[in-house]
Every structure is written in C-alpha cells, then in structure tokens.
Chain A
Amino acid sequence: EVQLVESGGGLVQPGRSLRLSCAASGFTFADYAMHWVRQAPGKGLEWVSGMSWNSGSINYADSVKGRFTISRDNAKNFLYLQMNSLGAEDTALYYCAKDIRSGGGSGQGIFHYWGQGTLVAVSS
C-alpha cells in the first residue's frame, strides 16, 4: 500500500524558513517523480514543485521560484521542500504526491497518490 506521510509544518514568522519532509513507503520511491501541491485554507489546489526520479529534472511554480528548493533522498525514501523567505501567501496545507508513472523526465504531472498534508502557517 502506497503511503506518503508529510511532516515539518508549523507556525512561522514572515521571512523565516521551514523544511518539510515526506516519508514514502509501499512503492519503489526511486522510480517515480514526486511533487508538492498546496492548498490554502478554504481554497483550491496549487502545484508547487516537482522532481524527477533521479533529481535530474526540477521544476517550480512561479510563485515559489527562487524561494523554495525541492530535494529527495532515494536511499531513505524521503522527499523534502526547503521553504525560505516565507510570506502570508504561503500559508497552506502542503501535500506530497506521487506521479502516476515511473520513468524519466519530470513525470506525467498526474498526481496518483497523496499524503494527508502538513500545515504551514505564516504569521507574526
């Protein structure tokens, strides 16, 4: 059974940093592109960032480019999101998501399995 468990969220002041983690199990993590998708309170979904299986292809939404960094550790089955210069607009539930197909490139951009999310609140 595919399981994705996010952690690392919390309350942080504007301008500060936070690192999110996603522990993956139940599938061959190293074979799949992985993504972060967020959802502001009461709002819709926004793709944030994605990384190919071998870290060779990394992409970001314009809203986070230059501030967020995605990474992964295939030996430990973990996905990460380093978030710097946080602002109120980054307040959201952050989901880790597995791409639908294994293989190279940036994945298919189809989010097959999702974790339950970790909440990031940016406020002074």
Chain B
Amino acid sequence: EIVLTQSPATLSLSPGERATLSCRASQSVINYLAWYQQKPGQAPRLLIYDASNRATGIPARFSGSGSGTDFTLTISSLEPEDFAIYYCQQRWNWPPSTFGQGTRLEIK
C-alpha cells in the first residue's frame, strides 16, 4: 500500500500569508495526486487533481506542484475561509486509493 505522509501536521499562519503544505508518497505516484479541503462539519472539497490541475470553481490562489514522491499545495495569500484541514490522495495504483493523514491549517 502506498503511504502518504503530510507535513506539517498543523500549520499556524495569518490571513494574507502564504501557505505551503507538503505530501510525500512512499513510492512514486507519478502525478496521480489530488488535494482536498475539509472544513468542520462539511464534506471534503476537491481542490487540485493530477498534481497541478485546479478543480472547477477553485480560486487561483490555490496551486499544486510536484511529481514522483514529493508534492506541494500552495495557497498564495490566505483568506479567512481557507483555514481548514487539507488532505492529499493518490490514485497511482487505482483502485484502491489512499489519503494522507491531513494538515490542519489554523489561524495564528
């Protein structure tokens, strides 16, 4: 099973700052990596798929990069509504698929 490790576990930043979230895979997933945002009491929302493609309706401040085993989600300038938990997900050997354990982005 491919294991995804997200870092940091918690990231404390202020609105307007740049956020950089990491996801490392235990083996190469090529570019088959997605990012999801989950706010308290809500379902996850797809942000990025195939490493760098923004999903429908996702603001341009969200961007994804990386390939192989190392991936990054960047939020260029944090808005108040961006504070949430972020999960990465790989689909290299789909099915199945696995998720990372999440990074909590909190207001500093």
With an 8 Å Cβ cutoff, the count of chain B residues facing the other chain is: 24
Within 8 A of B (CB), among A92-124: 95, 100, 106, 108-117
Is B107 on the interface with A (CB-CB < 8 A)? Answer: no
A44 and B101 within 8 A (CB): yes
How many A-B contacts are there with CB distance less than 8 Å?
56
B54 CB within 8 Å of chain A: no
- Which residues in window 24-59 of B have CB below 8 A to A? 32, 34, 36, 42-46, 49-50, 55-56
Interface status of A46 (Cβ within 8 A of chain B) = yes
**Complex: A114 Cα to B94 Cα, angstroms:** 19
Chain A residues at the B interface, C-beta cutoff of 8 Å: 44-47, 50, 59, 61-62, 95, 100, 106, 108-117
B residues apposed to A, CB below 8 Å? 32, 34, 36, 42-46, 49-50, 55-56, 87, 89, 91, 94-102
